[in-house]
Amino acid sequence: MSARTKARKRAIDILYVADVRQISIAESLAAEAERAVSEPARQASWLYAREIVDGIVDHREEIDELIETYSQGWTLSRMPIIDRAILRIGIWEILYNDAVPHAVAIDEAVEAAKVLSTDDSAGFVNGLLGRIAQTAPSA
């Protein structure tokens, strides 16, 4: 598994914990940062995970608005928590990280949904991110 894939998984964990515990993303990120200090072998994945989460915090309103707009009848509160986290990361990578091609962002999100979420989640994530990528500037 690549360092970026591991970082995405860490970012999912941070967002998931914040949602489940009903704490701010900043609090969840701080707890993970504390843990990261004691795990120097995971440093490479930590740096990108932090970049992802910081980016989501900076653009949360726009990202969540896009999820609501493109989810066709699903509200954020009705989605599985893990799907919200995966979608937020995928949208951030598509719109705000020029170093990640759109296809890679979508593939990584779909793979995460296959492993971590419901049977229908991978198709839902793929469709939503695909529609957003069509309207985004090319990476």
Residues present in the chain in total: 139
pTM comes to 0.93
Enclosing H/E stretch for 133 = helix 121-135
User: pLDDT tens across 48-78, in order?
Assistant: 999 999 999 999 999 999 999 999 878 888 9
Q: What is the CA radius of gyration of the chain?
A: 14
- With a cut of 80, say whether residue 107 has pLDDT above it: yes
- With a cut of 70, say whether residue 22 has pLDDT above it: yes
- Structural domains in the chain, CATH included, are 3-135 (1.10.940.10)
User: pLDDT tens across 39-54, in order?
Assistant: 777 777 788 999 999 9
CB atoms within 10 A of CB 130: 15
Burial class (CB in 10 A: 0-12, 13-18, 19+), 13: middle
pLDDT of residue 139: 54
pLDDT band at 138 (very low <50, low <70, confident <90, very high): low
With b meaning 16 or more CB within 10 Å and e meaning fewer, what string describes 42-80?
Answer: beebbebbbbbbebbbebeeebbebbeebbeeeeeeebe
Share of the chain above pLDDT 90, in %: 76
Q: DSSP characters for 6-50?
A: HHHHHHHHHHHHHHHHT--HHHHHHHHHHHHHT-GGGHHHHHHHH
